[in-house]
């Protein structure tokens, strides 16, 4: 799929993977809009990228999402790529966490339900294009759970399942392609408290994302995800142990 000359919307674009993907899309001559809850962060990111627009939006707020849809319609009149990248994670373990339900509710709302809603809201606009794409930022934990991120893992598993169903549904009736990016642990503000050196950079994920889209790879594995994905389908228990470093 072509990744140049498009209108691209990226949620959670004020930092990390979203910002670096926005940067690459801009370099390829696209009109890029980044969203996030923090207006100052968005302003800084847009200035650093150099040619990106921004719109302050909480993807879990129905009124904010509707305002975003109207903004895209009024200013651009179309949308070619929607990247659901906004995310939230809590580092905790189920055996000693009294806030599990609260954490899980917030993660599921941001990582899964918000993506479902914003996709549904933008589908009419995406359907108007001869070719369009939806990019869901998933995770290696979508199929191999990390026990220190248990409810985050569950939210990404939900997003993975939804992405598969959405891809099949849209392929039978539209020209919209659904991509799912599944990186291993990425060095962002969300992972600062995870003590490991085995982190990939947001730039690596962004590069792999655009490369995968251009090659029509609907599941884009970045970092160690590819190897663990093979482990999962051949030996699920061993994949879980490998990810969580259990001997």
Active site residues: 152
What are the DSSP calls for 128-140, one per residue? Answer: TSSSEEEEEE--G
The tokens describing 159, both together, are 């997003």
Order across the sheet with 81-84: list the strands: 52-56, 31-36, 7-10, 81-84, 132-137, 176-183, 219-222
Give 17's DSSP letter: H
CB 1 within 8 A of CB 213: yes
> What is the C-alpha separation between 201 and 205, in angstroms, rounded?
7
What are the DSSP calls for 214-245, one per residue? Answer: HTT-SEEEETTHHHHHHHHHH-HHHHHHHHTT
Which residues 6+ apart lie within 8 Å of 199 measured at CB?
185, 186, 187, 191
CB 224 within 8 A of CB 182: no
């Amino acid at each position: 799929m072509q990744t140049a000359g498009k209108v691209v919307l990226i949620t959670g674009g004020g930092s990390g993977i979203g910002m670096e993907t926005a940067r690459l899309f801009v370099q390829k001559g696209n009109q890029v809009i980044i969203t996030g809850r923090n207006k100052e962060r968005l302003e800084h990111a847009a200035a650093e990228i150099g040619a990106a627009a921004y719109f302050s939006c909480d993807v879990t707020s129905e009124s904010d999402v509707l305002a975003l849809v109207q903004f895209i319609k009024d200013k651009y009149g179309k949308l070619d790529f929607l990247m659901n990248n906004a995310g939230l994670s809590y580092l905790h373990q189920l055996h000693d966490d009294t806030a599990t339900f609260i954490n899980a509710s917030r993660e599921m709302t941001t990582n899964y339900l918000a993506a479902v809603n914003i996709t549904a809201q933008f589908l009419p606009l995406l359907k108007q294009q001869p070719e369009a794409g939806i990019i869901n930022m998933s995770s290696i934990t979508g199929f191999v759970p990390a026990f220190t991120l248990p409810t985050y893992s569950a939210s990404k598993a939900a997003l993975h399942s939804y992405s598969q169903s959405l891809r099949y549904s849209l392929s039978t009736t539209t020209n919209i392609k659904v991509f799912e990016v599944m990186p291993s642990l990425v060095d962002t503000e969300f992972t600062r408290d995870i003590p490991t050196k085995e982190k990939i950079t947001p730039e690596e994920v962004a590069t792999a994302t655009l490369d995968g889209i251009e090659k029509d790879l609907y599941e884009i594995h970045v970092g160690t995800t590819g190897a663990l994905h093979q482990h999962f389908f051949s030996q699920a228990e061993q994949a879980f142990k490998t990810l969580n470093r259990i001997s």
